[in-house]
Amino acid sequence: MVRKGFRDIEEYFLQAEAKRLQQKVVKRPLPKKESRENLINQIKNLNEKLKGKDRKIKELFKEIAELRNQLEVLKREKELLEEKRKELERVDEYKRSIDSLREEVAKLKGELAEKEKQIESLKSKEVPKARVELFIEVALGSVSELAGGRNNLKVLFSKRFRKDMVKEVAVRPFLFDSFISALSRIDSTSRLLKRDSKHDIYRIRVTSPYGEYRAIYLKMDSNTIKFVRFGQRDSIYQELDASGWSFD
């Protein structure tokens, strides 16, 4: 009797638990099944989104390509600007060189003007003729001795040559130095002018601060020369033409 009572109680609780579990299962909402149309719509939406993404990607690639082109253009412009900058630097350097040369030219012009003033001043100061004659006499004597000692060449000077030299040196003091310089280079400054029945006639080119001069000499023999005329280049030839190249 007691056992039956326990069994009834046990069955009661088991049935109650089973019923409770069944009710819990019934109350849990079942997942909704997607309809075919909904799935198709979702797929379409995804495709549209993908198309949009694809267009965006293409646009981005296009923009990247344009930016690369712009970058190349800017790079080239930068190179051109760098070349222009270097050209401007070279131009500035040339300008500085030109300015430096101009300054040097101006300085040389100033020095030349000063030298010309000195020359003009010396030209205006005529040395007393007696002193010049003495100087020329002594100097030409020394030249004869020096030439004879060095080259076994006998150098003579006519009275007319001495007179011409005194006349010129009296107003142009540096002219005698120019003559000595030309005489020391007689191999390069001398040239045959003409020959006559007696002598070969030569000239020495004398370049001086006062202009071009000529010293005329006769070749007496293989070891002897005689200077016979001295004067400015143009006037001395005119004089010789007028006299028929006579040195008597």
Which of 64, 90, 125 is the C-terminal boundary of a domain?
125
Total domains, the chain:
2
Burial string for 205-225 (b: 16+ CB within 10 Å, else e) reads ebebebeebbbbbbbeeeeeb
Poorest-pLDDT segment among 40-44, 53-57, 158-162, 213-217: 53-57
- Looking at the fold, whether 136 and 238 belong to one and the same domain comes out as yes
Query: What pTM does this model have?
Result: 0.47
**165-180 pLDDT tens trace:** 888 888 888 898 999 8
pLDDT of 216 > 90? The answer is yes
Q: Tokens at residue 179, please?
A: 């003559």
Domain containing residue 90: 54-125
Query: Helices (H), strands (E): how many in the chain?
Result: 7, 5
**49-103 pLDDT tens trace:** 777 777 777 777 787 888 888 888 888 888 888 888 888 888 888 788 888 877 8
- Is position 138 within any domain? yes
pLDDT tier at 8 (50, 70, 90 boundaries)?
low
Mean pLDDT score, 10-31? 64
Nearest residue to 214 via CA among 232, 228, 198 = 232
Instruction: Give the integer Cα–Cα distance in Å for 143 and 21.
Output: 154
Which of 70, 101, 125 is the C-terminal boundary of a domain?
125
pLDDT of 128 > 90? The answer is no
Domain containing residue 156: CATH number? 3.30.2310
- Is position 183 within any domain? yes
- Looking at the fold, whether 165 and 120 belong to one and the same domain comes out as no
- For residue 226, the one-letter residue type is K
Pairing relation of β-strands 154-157 and 224-232?
A: parallel
Instruction: Give the integer Cα–Cα distance in Å for 248 and 241.
Output: 14
- Looking at the fold, whether 91 and 157 belong to one and the same domain comes out as no
